[in-house]
C-alpha cells in the first residue's frame, strides 16, 4: 500500500509542474515564438527561435564531449578498473557529480572564455559536457557490471578479442541501461542555466557559430523572468514549456529508435 501511495506521490510534483507550465505557457507558444528572434524591450511579439537553436547547438557540443568520455571511462571502470587508479577515477567522478554547476561554469569561464577573450557556444557546451561525464560514466559502469560474467566468457571462448567482447558483447548487452544513463545526463544538463551564464552568455540575435555568444532557452527564460515586462514574463513561461517538451521529445525519440534496433540480426 505504502509503495503504491509513494509511487502516486512521485507523479504529483511532475504533473503539477507540467500542468502549471502548460496553463501559464501554452498561450504564448505560437508560430512567431518558434520562428522569430526576441524583440527589443518595449516592443511586443518576437520569439525564442534563436534560443531553441542555441540550446540544440550547445547540447550537441556537450554530447560530443560528455558521452564518449563518460562511456569510455565507464568501460574502463567496469572492465579494467579493479585497482587503485579505478578507485581514484570513481571518487573523482562522484565528487565532480557533486560540484555545483555554477562552479563548473566559472572554471570553464577562466579556462576557455578568458583565454579566447569572448563568450561562446563552445565553452557552454564544454561546461555542460563536463557535467554529463560523471553521470554517464557511473551509469555505464553499473550497467556493464550487471552483465553476467558467463556472457563475457562465452565471447572470449569463441576467440573474440577482449576489446571486441567489451564493445560488441558487454556494452551491447548493457546498452538499454547505458542509453538510459546517457538520456538522464542529457536531460539534466539540457535545463542547466548557471554554467551557461559565464560561457554561452546568451544572445538576442541568431548565432550558429561555435565561437560566438549564443542564446539558450534556459538563459532566455532566466533573463525574461527577472525582467520588469509582463510580455516577457509570458514568453518566459512559454520558453520553459518548450524546453520541457523538447527534452521529453528527445528522450522519447531515443527510446523508440533504440528499442527498435535492439533485436536486429547480430
Partner 1 sequence: MGVGIEVHGLNAWYGKNLSLENIDMSVAANHVTAVIGPSGCGKSTFVRCLNRMHETIPEARAEGSVKVGDMDVYGGGSDPVEVRRRIGMVFQKPNPFPTMSIYGNVAAGLKLNGFRNRKQMDELVERSLKLAALWEEVKDNLHKKSGASLSGGQQQRLCIARSLAVEPEVLLMDEPASALDPISTSKIEELIFQLKQHYTVVIVTHNMQQAARVAEYTGFFLMGSLIEYDKTEKIFTTPADKRTEDYITGRFG
Q: Which of 67-75, 154-162, 183-191, 220-228 is the region at the interface with partner 1 (rule: CB under 8 A)?
A: 154-162
Query: Which one, 20 or 80, has the nearer CB to partner 1?
Result: 80
- To the nearest whole angstrom, how small is the minimum distance from the Cβ of residue 82 to partner 1? 7
Among 69, 151, 225, 245, binds partner 1 (CB under 8 A): 151
Q: Which of 50-58, 156-164, 179-187, 195-203 is the region at the interface with partner 1 (rule: CB under 8 A)?
A: 156-164
Instruction: Say whether residue 254 binds partner 1 (CB under 8 A).
Output: no
Instruction: Say whether residue 158 binds partner 1 (CB under 8 A).
Output: yes
- To the nearest whole angstrom, how small is the minimum distance from the Cβ of residue 152 to partner 1? 8
**By the 8 A CB rule, do 71 and 178 touch?**
yes
Grid coordinates given for 30: 505560437
Q: Which of 113-121, 148-156, 193-201, 240-248 is the region at the interface with partner 1 (rule: CB under 8 A)?
A: 148-156
Instruction: Say whether residue 266 binds partner 1 (CB under 8 A).
Output: yes
Cα angle 164, 168, 170 (rounded to 5 degrees) comes to 100
Q: What is the DSSP letter of 46?
A: B
- To the nearest whole angstrom, how small is the minimum distance from the Cβ of residue 266 to partner 1? 4
- To the nearest whole angstrom, how small is the minimum distance from the Cβ of residue 75 to partner 1? 17
**Within the chain, where are the H helices?**
2-25, 31-35, 49-79, 84-98, 101-108, 114-116, 121-146, 149-157, 162-164, 171-173, 175-190, 194-197, 217-225, 230-261
Q: Which residues in this chain contact partner 1 in the complex, by CB under 8 A?
A: 82, 148, 150-151, 153-161, 164-165, 168-169, 172-173, 175, 262-266
Amino acid at each position: 500500500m505504502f509503495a503504491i501511495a509513494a509511487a502516486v506521490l512521485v507523479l504529483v510534483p511532475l504533473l503539477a509542474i507540467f500542468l502549471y507550465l502548460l496553463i501559464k505557457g501554452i498561450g504564448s507558444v505560437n508560430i512567431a515564438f518558434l520562428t522569430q528572434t526576441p524583440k527589443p524591450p518595449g516592443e511586443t511579439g518576437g520569439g525564442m527561435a534563436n534560443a531553441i537553436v542555441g540550446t540544440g547547438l550547445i547540447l550537441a557540443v556537450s554530447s560530443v564531449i560528455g558521452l564518449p568520455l563518460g562511456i569510455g571511462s565507464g568501460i574502463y571502470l567496469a572492465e579494467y578498473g579493479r585497482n587503485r587508479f579505478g578507485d581514484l577515477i570513481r571518487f573523482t567522478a562522484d565528487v565532480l557529480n557533486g560540484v555545483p554547476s555554477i562552479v563548473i561554469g566559472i572554471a570553464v569561464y577562466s579556462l576557455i572564455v578568458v583565454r579566447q577573450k569572448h563568450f561562446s557556444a563552445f565553452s557552454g557546451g564544454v561546461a555542460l559536457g563536463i557535467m554529463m561525464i560523471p553521470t554517464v560514466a557511473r551509469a555505464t559502469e553499473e550497467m556493464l557490471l550487471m552483465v553476467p560474467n558467463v556472457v563475457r566468457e562465452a565471447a572470449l571462448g569463441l576467440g573474440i578479442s577482449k576489446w571486441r567482447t567489451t564493445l560488441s558483447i558487454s556494452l551491447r548487452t548493457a546498452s538499454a541501461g547505458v542509453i538510459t544513463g546517457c538520456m538522464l545526463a542529457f536531460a539534466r544538463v539540457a535545463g542547466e542555466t548557471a554554467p551557461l551564464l559565464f560561457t554561452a552568455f546568451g544572445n538576442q540575435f541568431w548565432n550558429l557559430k561555435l565561437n560566438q555568444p549564443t542564446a539558450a532557452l534556459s538563459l532566455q527564460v532566466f533573463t525574461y523572468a527577472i525582467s520588469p515586462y509582463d510580455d516577457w514574463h509570458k514568453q518566459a513561461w512559454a520558453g520553459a514549456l518548450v524546453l520541457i517538451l523538447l527534452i521529453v521529445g528527445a528522450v522519447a525519440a531515443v527510446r523508440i529508435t533504440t528499442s527498435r534496433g535492439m533485436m536486429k540480426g547480430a
